[in-house]
Structures are given as structure tokens and as C-alpha cells.
Structure 1
């Protein structure tokens, strides 16, 4: 088999091909062709985001991809990501090696000094270690079968708090943005993130096709602020994913994350979703405990690998 590595083509079947590939390489990722197209169209210029595809010359099928760009939201310069995905049936033929080489060349040319990749299985980890990457953070992915009626009841909130759907925000989600920006400040990870651009947040969080506002749950404090939230992503059919769950620092320890997640999951089940996914950094003990309480079970583990770029 020979492959051609080329740029993603907007307006072509490439978006559907990317979704099929992600289902084969990372089934815990919930996305759609519309979301892929939107992500390419709305990528922030500072991120220099690039999507390459590896196409099997004999069949015309996309068998690999590379997502690469700069970590532009980090206040620490030099960080970049370059994540190759190769279909399990087409590995061991040099496609991943060439995609990674393209990532390193591209990102080094942009001035990046540190490359981050994520691997999802033993073979991928050996691939990274053989190429000089060092293991970093571990991410656990969890799955919940919503049809099994295992979603817990929504726990009672402390006095002064109320649950609402994000639909109530209308076209002004600034209250949610403020909560997300605060929660992101101490989110576990090797690259710190600052959500200081509201317009960019709208394009990449609020206006993305996978965000289901009806299933996204907000917990309001009595002063009108969003104290906690969980963002709901769906494929528009039966698959649901928790995009982000956050609690403002002063409201932690009150059970708000449990209430938000349980409420969103119950909404999702009522809307016809059959399976739910979520992911947590291995060091995020409190959120892992919340997800276990919700009934989630481990389904996959990803390991971050890091290497300096020449």
C-alpha cells in the first residue's frame, strides 16, 4: 500500500472521512462532519492549525490524519501539538512516522520548542517512546450506557442554587464564559491555559455544532452567576460526551458538579442518547470520583508524550 499525504479539502467528503477515522482510532471522541468543517473554518489564526490526511492510493480511502498547531491559549510560549492517527488496519507501514515527521517540520518552522502528542494504546506508546518522547500526563476515558437506567437521581442543591439549561442564555453566553474561564485556570494539564478571548471562546466552545445547549446544564448561584456547569456534546443521534465540567473555586465542595452532571445525563437519556463518554486527567481525583458516582466505567486510557523540537 502506498499513501499520499495531502491537505484537508474544505467542502469535500474529507470531513466525513475524518469522523470515520476518529471512530476507529478514538471511539470515545464524539464529533460530526459538520463539527470538523466548523473547526477548520473557525480555527484561530494564532493557532496555525493544520489538518493533513493520508489517502490510500489504491482505494482512495483516508487511512490517517494529522492534527497540528500551536497552543495559542497558553501564556507559556513554545508549546505545540501534533497528533497523528492511523487506522488500526493500516499501521506498521510508515504512515504514522511520515505524519509525525511532517508535524515536527511544520511546527519547528513556526518556532515551537515543545511538541505534545497523545497516544491511546500500547502500540502507540511504543511508537512514541521509540522516537524519543517522554511520558507525561495520563487521561482516563469513561463510558456510561444510558439505556441501562444507571444514571443517578439529581441530588438536592444547597439553598440559593438552581439548575438551568443553557438554552436560557439565548445569544448571550457571557455568564457561562466567565465560569469556564475561571474553572480552566487550575484544570490539570502540562500546558497552562488562559481563556481570555471571549470571541474565540464563542467560536470554539459556544457556537460549535456538537454543543447541545438543551442538554448543557448550568448551576446558578443566588447572585446570578454561573457557579458550575457541564457542557454537553452530541452527534445529534445517540452519542453524548461531557465537553467540560467546571465549578468556580468559591463554590467547590458543595456537590454542584454532581448535580450538573446528573441533570445533563438525565436530559440526554430523555432525548434518546444511548451512550455517554467523559474524560479526566488521572490526577483529577475529585472529578473522577464524581464520574464514578454517576455510573461511568473506564473504557480507555491516553498518555501524553512530550519531546523538545530542534
Structure 2
């Protein structure tokens, strides 16, 4: 039995579905489906040199990797590779081959520092450290039983603030782009991101197939968005928060919690039964909000870094 590594064939439904299934087995705490995979394949900015890789053994997909450059970072030469192997197919060399292929791809495109999220489990961390990666910051996956949770009661927005949905901005989403730009720049991270390309944001974020415009909740003051909670759904039972943020001038007023609470209530009314989210371990304000909403940590990943050259 031989393991090979190749590019994902994005045009083939069976290949993409196997990719999604394998990745879900390795990382069940995030919301993904075939449409999302195809979207990333097609619409990720060309400067990212994005690739999805598959480790295959006798026709079976046993591992996946997603790799590219952080093109939206002001610091050049930063690449990422996130590798997941089916828990029941480890020890066959799939992870090692995926890492090698991703590193070669990134090095050929000028990457000098590589970042990889690694599950905070002894075997996963040892695998990364044997390959020259050192641990950095950590992040938590959180889950909420939306069907059975006792959500905080709905509250009215404070004076001068009203709640809308992203669907209200369908004709002109630029105000949401500006809010996303400010909120993203303040997120804790070891790879700083600057959202400056509106057209790229439209393709990658606004047109993302999982984005639910009706459940994405926006707090508006003085006619402009000042806080939001971005909802992704699989259009079936799973709901995920892709981003929650508040404009700097309006922080400390509880607007992020207000927006997210309203979104969760409407998601449950729409029939969603599971809510997922993720927070950097240093993001104390959002971790506190999610605890009050009933979320519980279900897994942790540790960002690992390797310097090339």
C-alpha cells in the first residue's frame, strides 16, 4: 500500500466530498462543506498561491492539507500549512508527505516563515516539533448545544442603536467591509492581516457559500455598522460564527454580545441545533461573551512556527 500526495481535483464532486469527509474526521469542530472547498479553490486571491492537497492510499483519501501565503499581511514571506490526517489512518506517512509537499510549495514562492495549526494533543505536537516547528499562541474551538441551551433573553439595543441583518446591506456591502477591516486588524494573531482589497473581500467573504445574510446580525448607529456577528450555516443543522467584532469607538457597550445573542436566537428558531465558534486564547472579551452564551471549549489548537533558511 502506497501513499501519494496530489492536488485536490476541485472539479470532481467525489474528490471534493472525500476531501470534506476526511477533513471533518480530523477536525470536526469547524463548519465546512463541498461548496466551501470549491469556493476556496476558485476565489482565494491569486497572490495567496493557495493549494488544497490530498494524501491518498489505494484510492482512499486519508489526509488533507491547505496551504498558501498570507497575502493580506503587511509582512511578506509568511506562509501557512494546515494538515489533518484521519485519526484511523495515522502512521502511514500521510502527514509527513503532506507537510513536505506544502513546505516545498511555499518555499518556492518565497516563504521564509511557516505557520501551522496543530491540535493540542501529545502526538500532534510531537509530530510538529520533530519537523522543526515550535509552539506559539493557542486557540480554542467552542461548541453550543443550540437546541437545548438556555440562551440569555433577548434585549433591546441601547438608545441610538438598531439591529439589522447583512441582507439589509445586499445592495451595498461596503460599510460591512469597513467594519470587518477594523475588527480584523485588532484580532489577536501572530500573522497581522490588513483588509484593503474590497473586490477580493467581496469574492472571498461576501460571496462565501456558507454566509447566511439573514442570520448575520449588524448593530447600526448613526447610519453605519458598528458591531456584527457573522453567521455561516450548512443550511441544515449546523451554525458557526465566522467573525464577531465591534468598531473601536463603540466597544464596551455590549454590542457584540447583543448582536450574537440575537443571531443565535434566530438560528435556533430556524431549526439549527449546533453552534460552533473559535477564539484565540488571548481574546478574553470574546471568550467571556461566549461563556455567558453557554459555549463550552471542545478542543484546542496550538499555532506552530518554523523559520526557513
| Equivalent residue number for residue 249 of structure 1 | 248
Cα distance in 1 for residues equivalent to 2:305 and 2:60 = 30
| Equivalent residue number for residue 52 of structure 2 | 51
1:42 aligns with 2:43: yes
| Equivalent residue number for residue 26 of structure 1 | 27
1:4 aligns with 2:10: no
Deviation at 1:309, TM superposition (A): 1.4
Deviation at 1:307, TM superposition (A): 0.5
| Equivalent residue number for residue 83 of structure 1 | 82
Deviations 1:257-277 (A, max 9, x none): 110110111111011111001
Instruction: Report how many residues are paired.
Output: 307
Cα distance in 1 for residues equivalent to 2:267 and 2:126 = 38
| Equivalent residue number for residue 297 of structure 2 | 298
| Equivalent residue number for residue 101 of structure 2 | 102
| Equivalent residue number for residue 225 of structure 2 | 226
Cα distance in 1 for residues equivalent to 2:202 and 2:97 = 34
Q: Secondary structure at the residue paired with 2:132?
A: coil
Return structure 1 stretches of 4+ with deviation > 6 angstroms: none
For residues 229-240 of structure 1, the aligned pairs below 5 Å read 229-240=228-239
Q: Give the RMSD, CA atoms, in angstroms.
A: 1.0
For residues 19-168 of structure 1, the aligned pairs below 5 Å read 19-57=20-58, 60-122=59-121, 123-168=123-168
Cα distance in 2 for residues equivalent to 1:206 and 1:251 = 23
Structure 2: gaps of 5 or more residues: none
| Equivalent residue number for residue 286 of structure 2 | 287
Deviations 1:204-229 (A, max 9, x none): 111010001111000001x1110000
Cα distance in 1 for residues equivalent to 2:250 and 2:154 = 18
Q: Secondary structure at the residue paired with 1:148?
A: coil
Deviation at 1:154, TM superposition (A): 2.5
Cα distance in 2 for residues equivalent to 1:104 and 1:9 = 20
**TM-score normalized by the length of structure 1:** 0.97
Tell me, yes or no, if the aligned pair for 2:119 and 2:301 is still in contact at 8 Å: yes
Cα distance in 1 for residues equivalent to 2:10 and 2:184 = 31
Deviations 1:85-125 (A, max 9, x none): 11111111211011101111111111100000001141211
Tell me, yes or no, if the aligned pair for 2:23 and 2:64 is still in contact at 8 Å: no
Deviations 1:12-64 (A, max 9, x none): 1222112111211111110110111111011211000011111111xx22111
Tell me, yes or no, if the aligned pair for 1:104 and 1:309 is still in contact at 8 Å: no
**TM-score normalized by the length of structure 2:** 0.97
